[in-house]
Amino acid sequence: MSHLRLDNLSLAQGARTVLEGLSGSFPDGAITALIGANGAGKSTLIQGIMDILPPLAGRIDCDVPKERRAWLPQQLALDLSFPMSVEELVMTGSWPTRGALKGYRPSQYRQARDVMQRLGITQLSHRPLGELSGGQRQRALLGRTLMQEAELLLLDEPFANVDSDTVNILIQVLRDMADQGSTIVVVLHDLEHLARLADCVLLLAGGHGQWTTPQEVLERHGVTGLTSQAPFVPLNLSDSSPCST
Ligand X SMILES: Nc1ncnc2c1ncn2[C@@H]1O[C@H](COP(=O)(O)OP(=O)(O)OP(=O)(O)O)[C@@H](O)[C@H]1O
Q: Is 237 in the site for ligand X (CB under 6 A)?
A: no
Asked if 143 contacts 121 with a C-beta cutoff of 8 angstroms, the reply is yes
Contacting range for ligand X; rule: CB under 6 A; set: 12-20, 62-70, 77-85, 138-146: 12-20
3-state secondary structure at position 187: strand
Q: Is 210 in the site for ligand X (CB under 6 A)?
A: no
- The DSSP result for 210-245, as a single string, is EEE-HHHHHHHTT-----TTPPP-B--------S--
Contacting range for ligand X; rule: CB under 6 A; set: 23-31, 39-47, 77-85, 135-143: 39-47
Asked if 208 contacts 177 with a C-beta cutoff of 8 angstroms, the reply is no
Least distance (Å) between residue 39 CB and ligand X? 4
Among residues 6, 33, 40, 174, which is the contact residue for ligand X, using CB under 6 A? Answer: 40
Among residues 2, 13, 210, 212, which is the contact residue for ligand X, using CB under 6 A? Answer: 13
Q: Is 36 in the site for ligand X (CB under 6 A)?
A: yes
Least distance (Å) between residue 86 CB and ligand X? 27
Q: Is 18 in the site for ligand X (CB under 6 A)?
A: yes
Q: How many CA atoms lie within 13 A of 242 on its CB side?
A: 17
Q: Which is nearer to ligand X, 112 or 198 (CB)?
A: 198
Q: Which is nearer to ligand X, 135 or 242 (CB)?
A: 242
3-state secondary structure at position 54: coil
Among residues 3, 42, 137, 144, which is the contact residue for ligand X, using CB under 6 A? Answer: 42
Asked if 221 contacts 234 with a C-beta cutoff of 8 angstroms, the reply is no
Number of residues interacting with ligand X: please give it, by CB under 6 A. Answer: 13
3-state secondary structure at position 101: coil
d(CA 92, CA 111): 12
List of residues contacting ligand X (CB under 6 A):
13-14, 16, 18, 36, 38-44, 242
